Amino acid sequence: MSIKIGVLTGGGDCPGLNAVVRSVVKTAIHDYGMEVVGFMDGYEGLIENRYRDLDDKAVSGILTRGGTILGTSNKADPFNFPILENEKWIYIDRSSQAVRNYERLGLDALIAIGGDGTMAATHGLMNLGIKAVGIPKTIDNDLYGTDQTFGFDSALQTATDAVDKIHTTAEAHHRVMIVEVMGRYAGWLALASGMAGGGDIILIPELPYDLNIICDKIKERNRRGKGFSIIVVGEGAKPIGGDLVVQQKVETSPDKIRLGGIANVLSKQIESLINMETRVTILGHLLRGGIPTAYDRLLATRFGNEAVKLVNGNRYGLMVGLKGQDIEPVPIEEVAGKYRLVPRDSAYIKTAQSIGINFGTDI
């Protein structure tokens, strides 16, 4: 009797999700003769028993496609599932329903592709008897237990292209241009795109900034004949002693705070202190879209392949992670709900400082 596995994509979308699904299906079928079903819209599909059979035909031609053929949801927490009742949202525990559907389908294992929220939900379901393997995904690169997630490189390329293009208009009009990128509470995307795109000032959540230091850097560049400045800021950046800029609160989401708008705040503050025009570009969900880079396709394919190998070896409760150039499994319980932040002694930060990039603070 063949092994039957389920696969789902949870949390926010990113380039490379389809590449992972493709790899899981092809490895499962070609190497081990397994059956594969895909749950629609993340854990919502498992809870509501919405799924599709996945075979070679189903995953043909999806390697280069962005998004996910399975759909996803960043609200479908099995342990805190939102239900609209009498025009009010209430939250109920539907984890037992997820387990029942897993058992009714005769699944031997579940492969969950997602970030910290998905891994936390997966860990909870493991405690209820589901055998699971995790695959790390996020453009933010903030997932504990892996040196890099797939999706990050693609988002980095999009962000860097944007910063490249901002340079010409900034120089032409002698302006301060602020580019805001996603990343939540981690500054990996801002740091890497700022460096790769030639940013002058990079602001990340891990290093609260001083507005006066930012303005001093801009004025210093003007004195040297550089009549423009590029600031790349992560959405979770905040001033020393200050608060995050919250765009909205989404009550139905496990992570209720939606960050965004720090660039607009900075723009007004800088213009009030320096007689210099400032413009803002917020990349937002543009960073989640598009085709995955070659690197992300390769990493996603490796992750999917290794996840199926773990299932075949009856090794559950693990997430595949990148350590250096190798794929190594780590316990999901060590990953669930944790963030991987930029350390203050990061080699990236040290290199950026050496080439004159300012972080809006004295470090």
For residues 40 and 99, is the Cβ–Cβ distance under 8 A? no
Question: Using CA atoms, how far apart are residues 278 and 247, in angstroms rounded to an integer?
Answer: 21
CA distance 311 to 5: 9
Cβ atoms of 297 and 63 within 8 Å: the answer is: yes
Strands 109-114 and 81-85: unpaired
Q: Are the C-beta atoms of 186 and 205 separated by less than 8 Å?
A: yes
The number of angstroms, rounded, from the C-alpha of 166 to the middle of its chain's C-alpha atoms is 24
Encoded tokens for 112: 């969950």
Q: Is 313 left (phi over 0), alpha (psi -120 to 50) or beta?
A: alpha
Catalytic residue among 13, 116, 140, 142: 140
142 among known catalytic residues:
no
DSSP state string for 218-280: HHHHHHTT---EEEEEETT--BTT----EEEE-TTSSS-EEE--HHHHHHHHHHHHSSS-EEE
H helical segments located in 33-179: 43-48, 95-104, 116-126, 152-173
Give long-range contacts, CB 8 A cutoff, 24+ apart: 92-97: 94/47, 95/124, 95/125, 95/128, 96/128, 97/47
For the record, the structure tokens of 314 come out as 């009856």
Amino acid present at 240: I
**Rama region for 71: left / alpha / beta (φ>0; ψ in -120 to 50; rest):** left
- Active-site residues, by number, are 140
